[in-house]
Amino acid sequence: MSSDDWQALVDICRLTRWMDAQGLENGPIKDPKRLTGGTQNLLLHFRRGEREFVLRRPPLHPRQDGSKTIAREARVLAALAGTGVPHAGLIAACDDTAVLGAGFYLMQPVDGFNASAGMPELHASDPQVRREMGFSMVDALLRLGEVDYRAVGLDDFGKPEGFLQRQAPRWLSQLRSYSDYLGWPGAAGLPDVEAIGQWLVQNCPTHNTPGILHGDFHLSNVMFSNSGPQLAAIVDWELATLGDPLLDLGWLVVSWPEADGRGAGTIHVQPWGGFPSADELIARYRAATRRDLSALDWYIVLAGFKLGILLEGSYARACAGKAPMDVGQTHHASALRLFERAHATLSRNKPNSQW
């Protein structure tokens, strides 16, 4: 989607009438501008009256029910109001597809930046600031894990019972479904993926403390403050559910960049020097949580397994001509590394070993 293609997704006149009915400022919508980053979902920044808004809605042809996903995101943002979790404040949501052709919501703009897209001089010039940026991600994850999902009205947002037991079979099934994409060479060339899945089933933790799970917690899905190392907002809540928050920690670890600033998928942050190591992120989390981390290796293996399968899906779509091949090949190479690392971890550590 180009910067001007948002007109096909947002009828300004209809949006204006809907905002009138909601009492959201007066007058014309001014300076609409598509924001970059995130997923295929549209982010449109605009002004009306004395206020700024960001509209989020699905693309024309989402892979899943885009309106349902948008409604779930809006519900999470509403639930997080008043908590210590950094997020974009929800202003209003609409599930009437007659307004814009799909569900959408309006949120407050975030005064911040995505590190994958570049850093301000303050952050780019100071390794200590970058070190604190990494730790601020862990602190935000801790706050999210502390939210009482029942108290904020999310008790029916997912099915936390049996969540961990469902994971390996669910993602193996998704991997096998990629055979529907013509041209994909199949799972035979993926190192040890079946063995990893079997290990996950056999060593699944029997007890966990459920909570809100972001589902895709990594450097490209957060925004940092322009004035310091603090996290301004966690973004892209489309995979949020109720589950085990330790999987978010595992996700952060397996997606975290190496010394060259390159992480899983297309994550690439420069300059990278100063950011804490994955081991330091884990130590920060361990020092501040009451959660049992004795099976953390299992969560890290699961995160790499799941993320690898999702990235391989991008490659499968590219093989079928449904996604850019350069991106697909990048994701395939990343998936291979994730499977290799996952197998090395399960081979090196017993289920109850400590990082």
Residue 355 covered by a domain:
no
Looking at residue 24, its amino acid is L
Segment 130-147 mean pLDDT: 98
Residues 306, 182 within the same domain:
yes
Least confident of 33-37, 115-119, 157-161, 297-301: 33-37
Residues 140, 260 within the same domain:
yes
Assign 353 a pLDDT band (cuts: 50, 70, 90). Answer: very low
Other beta carbons within 10 Å of 18: 19
Residue 71 covered by a domain:
yes
Residue 212 has pLDDT above 90, yes or no: yes
Residues 203, 284 within the same domain:
yes
Residues 203, 183 within the same domain:
yes
pLDDT in tens, 279-324: 999 999 999 999 999 999 999 999 999 999 999 999 999 999 998 9
Cα separation, 204 vs 164, in Å, equals 7
Range of the structural domain that residue 91 is part of: 5-109
Residue 353 covered by a domain:
no
Conformational region of residue 22, where left means phi above 0, alpha means psi within -120 to 50, and beta covers everything else:
alpha
* Residue after which a domain boundary falls, among 109, 140, 174: 109
Cα separation, 159 vs 213, in Å, equals 12
Residues 69, 54 within the same domain:
yes
Spatial CA neighbour of 334 closest among 270, 234, 267: 267
Residue 330 covered by a domain:
yes
Segment 176-185 mean pLDDT: 95
Q: What is the CATH number of the domain that holds 253?
A: 3.90.1200.10
Cα separation, 289 vs 279, in Å, equals 16
Assign 5 a pLDDT band (cuts: 50, 70, 90). Answer: confident
Quote the mean pLDDT of the chain. 93
Domain count, the chain: 2
Q: What is the CATH number of the domain that holds 101?
A: 3.30.200.20
Residue 297 covered by a domain:
yes
Residues 99, 120 within the same domain:
no
Residue 39 has pLDDT above 80, yes or no: no
Segment 206-222 mean pLDDT: 95
| C-alpha dihedral, 338 to 216 to 119 to 82, nearest 10° | -150
pLDDT in tens, 50-65: 999 999 999 876 666 7
pLDDT score at 349: 62
Residues 82, 132 within the same domain:
no
Looking at residue 152, its amino acid is V
Residues 145, 282 within the same domain:
yes
Residue 354 covered by a domain:
no
* Residue after which a domain boundary falls, among 61, 76, 109: 109
Residues 22, 167 within the same domain:
no
Residues 84, 209 within the same domain:
no
Spatial CA neighbour of 289 closest among 230, 244, 255: 244
* Residue after which a domain boundary falls, among 109, 142, 176: 109
Residue 74 has pLDDT above 50, yes or no: yes
